[in-house]
Amino acid sequence: MERIAVCPGSFDPVTLGHLDIITRASRLFDRVIVLVSINMMKTHESFTPQERVEMIRCVTQDLPNVEVDTSDGLLADYVKKVGAIAIVKGLRAVSDFEYEFQMALANRKLYEDAETVFLTTTAENMYLSSSVVKQIATFGGDISHFIPREILEYIEKRLVKKERLS
Ligand code: PNS
């Protein structure tokens, strides 16, 4: 049986922290679907779901068992539809825990045949988040330590132009 994992998130945009989790998940499962989903708590989006999908495709090209998809529905429904056995999420610090724990419990209630698996981030990605990256880029700061090289220029151009002029 193929062991499928779904790695969901907003990925607005994908960071080196996300890429680390996706890469490690790809070693644990036969197939990993990175799912660009909607987080209703995050009201300000910088990139469209399709742009996020394309950025993730670009940075995961060399991971043959990783694919990217998007969903505007419930994560649990998607996981059930594709027959995944796990939801993989990265856990940075204690501050992430309560929120992630709540989502894991809710998802398990909605679909009990999948486990939420938490991978702890590496120490250097501990403080990293898409919102921190966006703030730095918007004010013209250096985000090269946080964003995969292949999409760096695209993100810098988009954020500096779009966010500062709006
Ligand atoms: O990267 P994020 O913003 O922490 O990811 C959160 C995300 C998008 C995975 C979460 O909000 C989600 O699963 N959204 C899909 C809708 C859903 O199923 N919500 C209920 C989760 S218990």
What does the pLDDT look like over 150-163, one tens digit per residue?
Answer: 999 999 999 875 55
pTM of the model: 0.94
pLDDT value of position 49: 97
**Residue among 65, 63, 67, 39 at smallest CA distance from 54:** 67
For residue range 28-72, list pLDDT tens digits in order. Answer: 999 999 999 999 989 889 999 999 999 999 999 999 999 999 999
Query: From atom 3 of ligand 1, which residue's Cα is the shortest distance away?
Result: 10
What the chain holds in terms of domains, given with CATH numbers, is 4-124 (3.40.50.620)
Q: Is 91 in the pocket of ligand 1 (CB under 6 A)?
A: no
pLDDT above 70 covers a percentage of the chain that reads 96
Q: Which of 24, 31, 80, 92 is catalytic?
A: 92
Lowest-pLDDT range of 8-22, 52-66, 122-136: 122-136
Which ligand 1 atom sits closest to the C-alpha of 12? 1
DSSP-derived secondary structure letter, 146 = T
Tokens of 59: 């940075």
